[in-house]
Structure formats: C-alpha cells, structure tokens
Chain A
Amino acid sequence: MDSNEVLYDVIVVGAGPSGLAAGLELAKGNASVLILDRKQEIGCPKRCAEGLSNRWFDIMNLKPKPEWAVQEIKGAVLYGPNGKDVKMKSENALGYVLERKMFEKELAINAVKLGAKILLKHQVINAKRENGLVKLEVEVNNEVKEFKGKLVIACDGIDSLIARMLGLNTKNNLNDTDSGYQYEMTGISGYDENCLHLYFGTQVAPRGYIWIFPKREGTANVGIGIGAYVSNETKLNAKEYLDRWIQSQPGLKNGSIIEVNAGGIPVGGFLEKMTADNLLVAGDAGHMVDPIHGGGIGIAMEGGRLAAKNALRALKENDYTDKNLNQYTQEWFDTRGNELKRRLKSRHLLEQLSDDDFNYLAESITMDEALAIGNGTLSKTDMAILFTKKLVKRPGLVAIMMKYFQ
C-alpha cells in the first residue's frame, strides 16, 4: 500500500456542487483541503435538470456568466392532467438553466486558486478512524493509496458510502426517493423557451412530474421524476414513462437526444443527524433536496458551505468529536432543513390528490395561494379562508388538506 504522508485538515469526498462549495469555503479559511472524486470529469455525467433560481445566486454570492448560465428563465408553466395550463411569467429573469459541467469547472478552478487540491478518478474504498484522524483507502490506477485527514466531508451523492463506512447511516428509503430519468434533446420546439414547463398527472408521472428545462435555442433537458415505489405498482420505469410521453408530444418526438441522464433523488427522509466523529455530510449524500420539485443545486451548495464553516470552527477548536461537530445539524435545520420539512408535508398532501383534484385546483387556485401552500406558510386561519372560498365544492380535498395542516 502506497502511503501519502500529507495530513490534510479536511478531505472532501465528491466534487459536485456541495463538495466544491465546501472546498471553496475551506480554502478561503486557509485550511488544507483535498477534494477527491471517483469520476474522470467534473460535472459529468450530470444527474440533474440544471435549473437554479436567482435566490440561490444571491445566497451563494454568484453572478451568472454566459458560458454556464446558458438560458435565462422568466417563469414557469404548469400543465394539469387535462392539459389545461397555468402560466406565471415575469418581465425579469427569475433564474437560469445551467451548463453544469462548465459551472462546476468554474467552482473547481476557483477552489484551486484559493489553495484546494483536486484529484479525479480516486475511488474511496474504505474509511476508518485511527488515533483521532480519518484514514481513507483510495483506489487509483489499480493501486490502493492512503490519505489522512482530521475531518472528512462526505458530498458523494445519493450513492454515498463514505458516511456509512464511518458509522453514519445515510441510506435512502424507497418512500422518500424518486426515480429520475432525462434526455438532453435538440431539434425540438413548441414551448416557450424562457419558461420551465412542468407536466402533472397520474398517467404522465405518478407521484412526480415531467419537465422541460430549456437550454439554448431548440435544446432542452426533458426529464421525469416519479416516486421510486411506483414501478412496483405500474410495472413501468421512469424511462418508459418518459419515452411514452415524448411520443405524444408533436414538438418533441422527432428531436435528437444528445445526452442521457439518470439518477435517484432523495426527496425527504431528512437525516436527524449529519455528523459523526471526524465526519460531516452534505448535498445529496445528506438528503439535501427540495421535497416538492426535487431540485438541489443551491441547497447542496449552501449545505456544503455550512459544513465547511463548521469544519473550520472544529479545526480552530482542535475538537473533531461528533459532539462538537453536531452543531452543524442544528444550524442546517435552522437555515434550511425546517423549511424543507414544511415542504415535505406539502408534498405528502400533493401525493394524495387525484387527477380531478389537480384539474380543479389548476382552475380555481391562484398562483400566490398555490405557492403559499407549497411553502407550508399558510396559517390555520388563512387555510380556513381558502377552504371556505375555493374548496367547498370538493369535500374530499378539504379532508385531505385538514389532515396535513393540523
């Protein structure tokens, strides 16, 4: 075994948005940081629809650049099961669809400029603690190398095993996971290229939705997320649902596919604890995803940065125990987790709705009201008013809503 004598302050496993944001913050704080990734290229293959709203540009102090913020988005169109659509569009850009490969490479370049070191095609095969440090066994070029760190931040995605190797259970339950599949298509048309397009319905995408996220003229990410357990009941997988739907869309069915993506999406099942001795977890590995729309670039970056801040604190205090690190869990729930928990509640509500309920809501509820329900921010009184005004005609819906908003 080849031994690497360097002792790093922090080893970040996974060079996605979360790991790179963590690496950037650590390097900024003058920690010695090594970022490992098992893949051969940063940002590729993506498991992502690449949308990022302005809110996250603000939170992460990012400025959109034309080389990776490739499509300005001014709104969204929601399509109900009966085909009726609700369009909300603003005059200004509300966000962008990214070319993630370019975006992440820029993050990587910035992290390295500040002093971080990145190694690709390095697969962690084992992690253990030794004398208060973490020792990673890493497979590279058919050899096993050793890397030592005071702390490890696991940002290794839904297939994270690093945290599990160090005793923190990050596995996903099927009920809290979506099955995702996507094509990047070109030569397609028939949709407003300044809007995101979301298609709902139990025949279209049970317990999820199909999306079109435009990415330059005539080109878009066309994808689907469905409840992971759905294929048990319907015998159709995410790919089959998406292929069937694309064939029904005249503007899409003759398009060409220039990239195929797949992935599991952790949409809930938040971890009660995101640390162990010498370990913090962030991004998909820490189940940091919005339970309603399944997006996670911004949330992952924010989580990675927060993990890094706590790592810097622990380095200063020279205390790498779980007890000291676990403040990170509390801070994450305060800044983001509790908001996502409310949205998970709303997701559970949406899952109860029938196609008729969806159609009715699309026709009767305003966008502001829908957003308030989605964010879980309606007070009981507001909810009561909404029930009386809009939902009296559908007592079934009232019953479902009461169940979830008590």
Chain B
Amino acid sequence: MSAKNNSNKCLYCGACVGVCPVGAITLKDTRIFIDEKKCINCGACVTICPVGAMKLEKKI
C-alpha cells in the first residue's frame, strides 16, 4: 500500500506535505509526488486533505 494523489481533485495546497511524518511527499509546481519507498501508509495525508484527493492504494 502507498498514498496516491488524484490530480483531478488536488488543489496542490501542500497540507499533505506538512503532516507527512516521513517526508515522503513533495509538492512541485502544481503536482504532488509521493515516494512509495518512504511512504509508511499511515494515512495522515488522507485525513488532512481538504478536498479528498489522497487515498491509500495498493502499490502497482
């Protein structure tokens, strides 16, 4: 499992970056990047996202 970002819903506000305990998320321009190797699947980013753009999904 890893956090996934839905770029259709995302407003690239960076709230998820601020609460990620392991620094797995970065915001560049208007895109969110998630380092699947770092992600510990804690769901903090899903909880804080104001627009429901983050989900926990199986790693592909």
Contacts and interface: CB of A to CB of B under 8 A. Distances in A.
Interface of A: 38, 40, 45, 47, 121, 123, 139, 157-161, 164, 171-174, 177, 179-181, 228-229, 231-232, 237-240, 260-264, 266
B40 interface: no
Given A47-B14, A264-B15, 16 more contacts: A38-B29, A159-B15, A159-B18, A159-B27, A171-B19, A171-B21, A174-B19, A174-B44, A177-B48, A231-B48, A262-B11, A263-B13, A264-B13, A264-B19, A264-B48, A266-B18
B15 A262 contact: yes
Contact of A171 (B20, B29, B49, B50): B20
- The A contact surface, by secondary structure, is mixed
Nearest to A181: B50
B47 interface: yes
Indicate the size class of the contact surface on chain B: 20 to 34
A87 B50 CA distance: 29
Interface in B25-41: 26-29
Nearest to A235: B52
Contacts, number: 91
A260 B11 contact: yes
B18 A160 contact: yes
18 contacts: A38-B29, A40-B29, A47-B14, A159-B27, A177-B19, A179-B48, A179-B49, A228-B19, A228-B48, A237-B52, A238-B50, A239-B51, A261-B11, A262-B15, A262-B50, A264-B13, A264-B15, A264-B18
A263 B28 contact: no
Interface of B: 11, 13-21, 23, 26-29, 44, 47-52
A180 B18 CA distance: 13
Contacts of A173: 19
Nearest to A230: B47
Contact of B17 (A161, A180, A240): A161
A164 B50 contact: no
Contacts of A159: 14-15, 17-18, 27
Nearest to A236: B52
Contacts of B20: 171
Contacts of A160: 18
A12 to B, nearest CB: 18
Given A159-B17, A264-B14, A174 B50 contact: no
Contact of B48 (A40, A139, A174): A174
